[in-house]
Amino acid sequence: MENNLFEIKNLYHSYDGKNNVLNNINLKIEKNKIISLFGPSGSGKSTLLYIIGNLLTQSSGKVIYNFENIQKNMGFVFQNFNLINELTIFENCKIAQNIRGYEDINEILELSKNVQISELLNKYPNELSTGQLQRASILRSIVGNTKLILCDEPTGALDSKNKENIMNIFSSLKGKKTIFIVSHDDIVKSYSDKIYYIFDGSIKEA
Ligand SMILES: Nc1ncnc2c1ncn2[C@@H]1O[C@H](COP(=O)(O)OP(=O)(O)OP(=O)(O)O)[C@@H](O)[C@H]1O
């Protein structure tokens, strides 16, 4: 278990109590790697991501986390960014950091250089391009020393140059964080340490 950040055991999920969207998922996710999950539309990828992220409770089975303070140690990156429009990028990140129990302006400033938005911290979301918005939402997901970054189609809204840019940023974070990406995008595969496929609620390793 020491090398694994979390483990999924005998996990089932049904939304209607009849049909299993997830059907006995068993998975061990290593620390500090990029892991991606592919599968047809409706195969249960987002459902699994939300269960891992504690945003949805499974019907049965377990997710066993090898870290404390589960909610504070997870960050989310969504296709549509989910930034608060009334707040600057800096304020969006500060709130996330505070919720995770940290108060450290330098961390935000330093990490903003890594994700190439240090010049944009005082802008509002509606002043940024889609690539910049995605980098801002990555910054929000990594401040406060998070261990696990859960991403739902993080490259979906981007052109190919920005896709490469985002995946390079994820690559630069690996070694320090585990990045778990749900995707349809082939570009994500070439950056992944491990690729899983989900089909009819069951998982296969590539
Ligand atoms: N809140 C919900 N209530 C009922 N059914 C749901 C709900 N959310 C998802 N489903 C159903 O569960 C199945 C899996 O959906 P999910 O969104 O996990 O798939 P996905 O693989 O992420 O799809 P996509 O690639 O299109 O995003 C689908 O049949 C979907 O219609």
Domain-wise residue ranges, the chain: 31-43+68-205
Ligand 1, atom nearest to 198 Cα = 21
Q: What pLDDT, on a 0 to 100 scale, did the predictor assign at position 1?
A: 66
Which pLDDT tens digit goes with each residue over 61-118?
Answer: 999 999 999 999 999 998 888 999 999 999 999 999 999 999 999 999 999 999 999 9
The residue whose CA has the least distance to atom 24 of ligand 1 is 41
Count the Cβ atoms, other than its own, within 10 Å of residue 3. 11
* Dist. CA 3–CA 121, nearest whole Å: 35
Q: What pLDDT, on a 0 to 100 scale, did the predictor assign at position 168?
A: 95
Q: What is the DSSP letter of 1?
A: -
Query: Which residue type, as a one-letter code, is found at position 82?
Result: N
ipTM over cut 0.90: yes
The residue whose CA has the least distance to atom 7 of ligand 1 is 15
Q: What is the pTM of this model?
A: 0.95
Which pLDDT tens digit goes with each residue over 139-188?
Answer: 999 999 999 999 999 999 889 998 999 999 999 999 999 999 999 999 99
Count the Cβ atoms, other than its own, within 10 Å of residue 30. 13
At the topology level, CATH places domain 31-43+68-205 in Rossmann fold (3.40.50)
- Ligand 1 first shell, C-beta below 6 A: 15, 21, 39, 41-47
Q: What pLDDT, on a 0 to 100 scale, did the predictor assign at position 22?
A: 97
Mean pLDDT, residues 181-199: 96
3-state DSSP of 33-79: CEEEEECCCCCCHHHHHHHHCCCCCCCEEEEEECCCCCHHHEEEEEC
The residue whose CA has the least distance to atom 16 of ligand 1 is 44
Dist. CA 172 → ligand 1 center (Å): 31
The residue whose CA has the least distance to atom 26 of ligand 1 is 41
User: In the sheet that 148-152 helps form, which strands lie side by side, from edge to edge?
Assistant: 74-78, 148-152, 178-182, 34-38, 194-199, 202-205
Q: What pLDDT, on a 0 to 100 scale, did the predictor assign at position 206?
A: 80
Ligand 1, atom nearest to 184 Cα = 25
Count the Cβ atoms, other than its own, within 10 Å of residue 89. 27
Instruction: Say yes or no to pLDDT of 132 above 90.
Output: yes
Dist. CA 41 → ligand 1 center (Å): 8
- The pair of structure tokens assigned to 60 is 């049965």
Identify any residues that bridge with 131 across adjacent strands, giving them in sequence order.
none
